[in-house]
């Protein structure tokens, strides 16, 4: 019997100085067209920190200057394709003007993000990131 393991992914939570959240519009299913956090699959030989920085740059054109762990999200139902485990980071970037790339149809800072139903479990990740910011 072959051993199956969950896929390892990363997500990046980025706020601008006004509190707008960096979101992408997904180009592909699942959740095609829906807002999501920048992120993706960790490649073999890559740390989760490197993967988060790479995915952020590939999908938004922004470079990370610091990463802070938000949490690990492992609900087997978080991704309808298969069981994934995501390591989420609160990220500060060097740029302020995102440009969509890779598998993102759009990348932008969204001011009214609180009113959006994000893809996957990204609303929970953002809520947890906000708790982290609010701690002294």
Walk along the chain (136 residues) and give the pLDDT tens digit of each residue: 677 899 999 999 999 999 999 999 999 999 999 999 999 999 999 999 999 999 999 999 999 999 999 999 999 999 999 999 999 999 999 888 999 998 889 999 999 999 999 999 999 999 999 999 987 6
| The pLDDT value given to residue 1 | 62
User: Which residues make Cβ contacts (< 8 Å) with residue 86, sequence separation at least 6?
Assistant: 8, 9, 10, 11, 39, 72, 73, 74, 78, 120, 121, 125
**In the chain, which ranges are E strands?**
7-13, 21-26, 35-36, 39-41, 64-73, 84-93, 104-110
- A 10 A CB-CB count for 86 gives 30
Q: What is the pLDDT of residue 96?
A: 87
């Amino acid at each position: 019997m072959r051993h199956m393991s969950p896929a390892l992914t990363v997500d990046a939570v980025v706020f601008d100085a006004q509190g707008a959240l960096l979101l992408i519009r997904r180009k592909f299913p699942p959740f095609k067209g829906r807002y999501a956090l920048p992120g993706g699959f960790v490649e073999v030989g890559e740390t989760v920190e490197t993967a988060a920085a790479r995915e952020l740059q590939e999908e938004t054109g922004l470079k990370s200057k610091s990463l802070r762990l938000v949490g690990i999200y492992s609900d087997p139902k978080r991704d309808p394709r298969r069981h994934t485990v995501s390591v989420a980071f609160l990220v500060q970037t060097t740029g302020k003007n995102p440009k969509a790339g890779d598998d993102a149809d759009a990348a932008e800072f969204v001011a009214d993000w609180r009113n959006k139903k994000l893809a996957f479990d990204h609303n929970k990740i953002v809520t947890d990131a906000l708790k982290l910011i609010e701690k002294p």
